[in-house]
Amino acid sequence: MVSKMHQLEKLQAKIPAKTALLLSNAGDIRYFSHFEILVPEEREALLLVTRKSATLLHANFSPVKAHARIEAVPGCYPEALKKKLQQIIGRERIQELKIDKNTLFVSEFEAVRELGGLKITGLDRDIVWSLRSVKTADEIASIQKACQIATAALKQVTARLKPGITELEVKQMLEESLRALGSERPAFPTIVAFGEHTALPHHQPTGAQLKKNLPVLTDVGAAYQGYCSDMTRTFWFGNRPAEKFVEVEEVVQAAYQVALEKLGDLGGGGGLSAKDLDWEVRNYIAGQGYGSNFIHTTGHGLGLAIHEQPSLSWLNDTPLQPGMVLTIEPGIYLPGEFGYRHENTVLLGKKVKELT
């Protein structure tokens, strides 16, 4: 198996001489150092990486696992960062610091900016995603377990649905089931929608009650050893599905199969980009008359974060590769009526493998 520490070595090989990377994204830090940040909105760690060294600046109260290639230094406040960076500059003659503009705090930026003679530039996140997007065997095993947990939880809860139950109650049941089955937490805020609420992709549960002959949409994910799963199911609660619902269901299910068939081209070595896949699915749905009702991308990568690269967007030219784990989630949304989304987590390889 390829370890994440090996991934750190791969990252170091991509760093130019006399250059340091300052990683401040919680997922990046965990991926390359194994340090688990409990509250991503707070600063618990920073990771400084050069071709020759790696330094984890961490909060004094946080547990740190020993790593042969990483120096762990207590203190990740701006002045501690400045002091340690100054030492590295002197030792390795660093001239350029690449920062993640999306996650570095202003106070941290101001501290490193005080170091004279240091060129500060933005980090091209492709250098990180080129490693994080293709999963190791250990990562795939964790994602598979997260998928199994989510699948089992949804099966348990769906069997207990009855008229009068609320969206909020179903959400609570799903999240209790996730934890009982081994999930560390929900991978994202669980979505449960009844009736016309299903027409909003990110609807958050309310006290709305379930009635016979209504559409139901659930979007649920587990987290196992930090890794996420993502699965959406839409179904009709009752024995008299509306004709329009059946029609939309058939279009979305067929669009999902279009995606799987296109991903099968990877096994033959055919080049396929995120953009290519999105257009295949989008064009199919448009051809059925629902193009304006498919209002999000075809899917996204996932791993330590629920939304990772590559985004399966009509704007993204990133090549799809074996070892990537993606969601495939075509959907059609009719405001004031209902929405229908079908989503699985899939692993790319010689054959695409559905994990949920």
What is the average pLDDT across 305-325?
96
Longest dimension (CA), the chain: 74
Q: Where in the chain is the domain with CATH 3.90.230.10?
A: 137-354
What is the average pLDDT across 260-267?
84
What is the average pLDDT across 290-301?
98
Per-residue CA distances from 216 to 170, 171, 194, 247, 340 (Å)? 11, 12, 5, 16, 9
Q: How many CA atoms lie within 13 A of 222 on its CB side?
A: 27
Other Cβ atoms closer than 10 A to 243: 7
User: Which of the following CATH numbers is that of domain 4-132: 3.40.1390.10, 3.90.1170.50, 3.40.350.10, 3.20.20.70?
Assistant: 3.40.350.10
DSSP 333: E
Q: What pLDDT, on the 0 to 100 scale, is given for residue 5?
A: 52
Token pair for 150: 């989510």
Rounded to 5 degrees, φ, ψ at 60 are -60, -30
What is the average pLDDT across 64-78?
89
- Taking the C-alpha atoms of residue 46 and residue 48, their distance in angstroms, rounded to an integer, is 7
Whether the pLDDT of residue 43 is over 60: the answer is yes
Q: What pLDDT, on the 0 to 100 scale, is given for residue 308?
A: 97
Q: What is the pLDDT of residues 86-109, one digit of tens each?
A: 999 999 999 999 999 999 999 999
Q: What pLDDT, on the 0 to 100 scale, is given for residue 121?
A: 97
Report DSSP letters for 218-253, one per residue: EEE-BEETTEE--EEEEEEESS---HHHHHHHHHHH
pLDDT band at 68 (very low <50, low <70, confident <90, very high): confident
- Please give the CATH topology (third level) of the domain spanning 137-354: Creatine Amidinohydrolase (3.90.230)
- Taking the C-alpha atoms of residue 217 and residue 334, their distance in angstroms, rounded to an integer, is 14
Q: What pLDDT, on the 0 to 100 scale, is given for residue 267?
A: 60
What single-letter amino acid sits at 175? E
Token pair for 161: 């649905």
Rounded to 5 degrees, φ, ψ at 14 are -90, -10
Q: Where in the chain is the domain with CATH 3.40.350.10?
A: 4-132
Token pair for 355: 């994990």
Q: What pLDDT, on the 0 to 100 scale, is given for residue 4?
A: 54
pTM here is 0.93
By CB neighbour count within 10 A (0-12 exposed, 13-18 middle, 19+ buried), where does 227 fall? Answer: buried
What is the average pLDDT across 188-216?
97
Average pLDDT for the chain: 95
